[in-house]
Amino acid sequence: MVSKLKSKRLSGIGEYYFSKKLREIDTLNAKGENVLNLGIGSPDMPPPSAVKETLVNGFNELNYHQYQSYKGIPDLRNAFAKWYAKYFGVMLEPDAEVLPLIGSKEGVIHISMSLLNEGDQALVPNPGYPTYGSATNLAGGEPVYYSLDEAHQYHPDFDALEQLDLSRVKLMWVNYPHMPTGGNGSDDLFAQLIQFSRKHQIVIVNDNPYGFILTDKRRSLLQQRQNTDLVLELNSISKSHNMAGWRIGVLVGNADLIQTVLAFKSNVDSGQFKPVMRSAVAALEVSEDWYELLNDEYKIRKKLAQQVVELIGCTFRDEEVGMFIWARIPTEFSDGESFADFLLNKYRIFIPPGSVFGSEGKSFIRLSLCSPREIWEEVIKRIKEKE
State how far the Cα of 297 lies from the Cα of 214, in Å rounded to an integer: 10
Q: What angle do CA 153, 151, 126 make, to 5 degrees?
A: 70
Average pLDDT over residues 72-76: 96
End-to-end CA distance of the chain: 51
CA distances from 187 to 171, 202, 210, 281 (A): 21, 19, 16, 29
373 vs 63 pLDDT, higher one = 373
In a 13 Å sphere around the CA of 137, the CA atoms on its Cβ side amount to 14
Which pLDDT score, from 0 to 100, does residue 2 have? Answer: 61
State how far the Cα of 272 lies from the Cα of 124, in Å rounded to an integer: 29
State how far the Cα of 224 lies from the Cα of 232, in Å rounded to an integer: 12
What's the farthest any 2 CA atoms get from each other in the chain?
64
In 225-335, which residue ranges form alpha helices assigned H by DSSP?
A: 255-265, 274-284, 288-311
The pLDDT tens digits for 366-383 are: 999 999 999 999 999 999
State how far the Cα of 303 lies from the Cα of 151, in Å rounded to an integer: 24
State how far the Cα of 279 lies from the Cα of 54, in Å rounded to an integer: 5
- Helix 373-386 and helix 336-347: axis angle, to 10°? 90
Note whether 2-46+289-386 and 49-284 share their fold.
no
7 vs 380 pLDDT, higher one = 380
Average pLDDT over residues 279-306: 97
Length of the chain: 387
Report helix, strand or coil for 219: coil
- C-beta separation of 33 from 362 below 8 A: no
Q: Is the peptide bond before 43 cis (omega within 30 degrees of 0)?
A: no
Average pLDDT over residues 308-335: 96
Q: Which DSSP helix (H) or strand (E) runs through 19?
A: helix 17-30
Concatenating the DSSP letter of every residue in 66-107 gives S---TT--HHHHHHHHHHHHHHH-----HHHHEEEESSHHHH
Q: What is the CATH number of domain 49-284?
A: 3.40.640.10
**Sequence spans of domains, the chain:** 2-46+289-386, 49-284
Average pLDDT over residues 208-231: 96
- 2-46+289-386: CATH class: alpha beta
Q: What is the DSSP letter of 221?
A: G
Q: Is the pLDDT of residue 11 over 90?
A: no
State how far the Cα of 311 lies from the Cα of 342, in Å rounded to an integer: 14
Average pLDDT over residues 122-130: 97
Q: What is the pLDDT of the chain when averaged over all its residues?
A: 94
Which pLDDT score, from 0 to 100, does residue 3 have? Answer: 63
- Rounded to two decimals, what is the model's pTM? 0.94
Q: Which residue type does 130 have?
A: P
Helices and strands, counts by H and E, the chain: 14, 11
State how far the Cα of 248 lies from the Cα of 209, in Å rounded to an integer: 11
248 vs 15 pLDDT, higher one = 248
Concatenating the DSSP letter of every residue in 341-380 gives HHHHHHH-EE--BGGGG-GGGTTEEEEES-S-HHHHHHHH
